[in-house]
Amino acid sequence: TYVDPAGSTLTIVLNRLLHMEQQGAKIPWEKVHYLDLTPSSEYPVGLNLLHRTVGEDNANVAGDVLALIKSAYGGETPKTDRFIENGVMTLLDDQAREHTILGLVSILQYPALRETIHVSDPLVQEFWDMDGEDIKAGELGALQNRLRPILQNLAMRRIFGQTRWSLDLLRWMDEGHIILINTLNLEPKNVGLVGGQV
């Protein structure tokens, strides 16, 4: 796996593979994956932060999402972190449809939307009963600031706003695939978020 913030090294790697093939080497192209995460990509990769593998617990996914956001954007925001964690767990509990991180602000801003989701975790339901009805504008603003790099950046919305997870990374790594990731023109803080998710 190679992440190229300049975009030029990936071209060199691909050209060398093509050259080796012209020299008679068999290149298993089905094992070479080029992921274009640039803002101008025609086909953005889907990296749903709320993606769960089979049997994965909602609390673990919510904790991972929170850790990833904190790692990428830094700062200590305990109250906002609680809103993020409980909001993510609520979105994950929705059996009717798949959600993305882009739905987090809406689930916090509109109690009527939350009420359409049957929350199975009693601690999450208690959180909403105690704190959810009175989310102040300042608290919502703090959450929006925390998620601003995703919400306001078109490239990030295109990547993290898809309900699917389009990569089989674990299998690719286990099978020795070559994964080339182009992050040209992606803001450094967003590279951290994408890199943490990949």
- pLDDT in single tens digits along all 198 residues of the chain: 788 887 789 999 999 999 999 999 999 999 999 988 888 888 888 889 999 888 889 999 999 999 888 887 777 788 888 888 999 999 999 888 899 999 998 888 888 888 888 888 899 989 888 877 667 767 778 788 888 888 888 888 999 999 988 788 888 989 999 999 888 888 877 777 777 776
What's the pLDDT score for residue 26?
96
Query: How many CB atoms neighbour CB 22 within 10 A?
Result: 9
pTM as predicted: 0.80
- Length of the chain equals 198
Structure-block tokens of residue 101: 């991180």
What's the pLDDT score for residue 176?
92
What's the pLDDT score for residue 112?
86
What's the pLDDT score for residue 129?
86
Q: Beta strand 32-36 with 178-182: parallel, antiparallel or unpaired? A: parallel
Cβ atoms 66, 81 nearer than 8 A:
yes
In the three-class reduction of DSSP (H, G, I as helix; E, B as strand; rest coil), residue 49 is classed as coil
What's the pLDDT score for residue 164?
85
Give me the residue spans of the domains in the chain.
2-45+176-197, 58-160
What's the pLDDT score for residue 114?
85
Cβ atoms 5, 182 nearer than 8 A:
no
